[in-house]
Every structure is written in C-alpha cells, then in structure tokens.
Amino acid sequence: MHQLNLDINPSDFIEKDILELLHLENAPEDKKAAVIKDMIETIQNRVLARLLDSLNEPEIDTLEVMIDAHQEENVEKFLMQKDFDVKKVTAEESINYKAEIINLVKAKKVG
C-alpha cells in the first residue's frame, strides 16, 4: 500500500483544517484570511497549469477567445469535451498542496 509521506497522524490530516495544522488557528482573522487567500490562489494556479498543459496551442487560443467573450457556458462545455474535470483536479491539487505545505513548514522549522 502506498503511504503518504506525512509526519502527522493521517486522521488529523483529514479532520483538522490547514490553519490548525500550521498552528495558525489563533492568528488574527485578517492574517488567517490572507493565508487562506494565498493558499487558494496557489491551488488555482496549479489547476490552471494542469489545464494549460492538457491543451495544445490552438485549444488554448480557443479557450482565450471564449474567455474574452465571457462565454461561461462554452468554457465549461469546452473543458468537459477535453475531459478536464475541474473538481477532480482541484481536489488532487488541494490535497497535494496541503501535504506539501505541512511538510515544508515542518522541514523548514527543523532545518
């Protein structure tokens, strides 16, 4: 069985929120909001990177054109046609990010 390389209890990993795991639960609200915003932006960028990687140049152009024209439904349809499941990719990237940031903060502290 594959093991997730984590220094924390897996059930904590699932149950506790990221702020708790990074000991930021008592931080001021604005600080917490800023951290969450940074995290979500990072995840969004990673999802975007996966999307752009999965498309070829003309497809990216097509997507850009639809975005410029604010064709929200067409964009969603287009992604579906390209078999790009936003929710699935976001879940994958989020979980990877969660594990990565916990390990990174821990490693930096030790280092």
Partner 1 sequence: MTETEIQECPEDNDTGNELVCETSDNIENQEYNEDNSFAAEIVKEMRQNEEDRMNERWKGGRVGKINKYLNTTRLGRWIKTTSKIVLGTGIAAGAISMAGPAALIGAPIAYAFGKRTVIDGVIEGIQGLAKGNRLRISLEGKKQDQILMEDGLLGLEEQFLNNEMTEEEYCDAAAELVQDIRNTESEVITNEKSNIKWESGQKLLRGIASNLGTLALGYLQGVPLGTQNFDGKAAHAVKMTRHGFDFLYNTNEAIAQTTHNVWGQAAHTMGQAIPKDGMIGLGTAMTGLFVKTASEFSSWWKNRDRDNSSNQNSFSEASDQQGEILFNGQFPDNETIDPKILDETASAQTNDVPRFQDATVDKDNTDSTNNEPGNPEPETNQDSQDDTDPEKQPGNNNPNDENTSGDSAKSEPEQKKSETKQEPSYNGKPFDFDSFHIGHGKDIDQENLDSLINNIERIMYNVSITTDKLKSYFGDIENPDLDKLRKMLVLPNVFTLKMLNSSSRKARSLCHPDKFSDDHKKNIAELLSKIINLGFVKLRETIK
Instruction: Report if residue 76 touches partner 1, rule: CB under 8 A.
Output: yes
Calculate helix-pair angle for 72-81, 57-68, nearest 10 degrees: 160
CB of 6 to partner 1, least distance (A): 9
| Interface with partner 1, residue 111, by CB under 8 A | no
Site membership for partner 1, residue 5 (CB under 8 A): yes
Determine, following the binding rule CB under 8 A, whether residue 7 of this chain makes contact with partner 1: no
* Contact set for partner 1, span 22-61 (CB under 8 A): 22-24, 26-27, 31, 34-36, 38-49, 51-53, 56-61
**Shortest approach of partner 1 to residue 59 CB, angstroms?**
8
One-character DSSP codes across 25-50: TTS-HHHHHHHHHHHHHHHHHHHHHH
Selected binder of partner 1 within 29, 30, 108, 111 (CB under 8 A): 108
Task: Compute CA 66 distance to the chain's CA centroid, rounded to the nearest angstrom.
Answer: 24
Instruction: Tell me how far apart the alpha carbons of residues 41 and 33 are, in angstroms, rounded to a whole number.
Output: 12
75-87 as b/e: b if 16+ CB within 10 A: eeebbeeeeeeee
Instruction: Out of 14, 29, 110, 111, point to the residue binding partner 1 (CB under 8 A).
Output: 14
Task: Give the pair of three-digit tokens for residue 108.
Answer: 């930096």
Please work out the total of residues on this chain that contact partner 1, with binding judged by CB under 8 A. 82
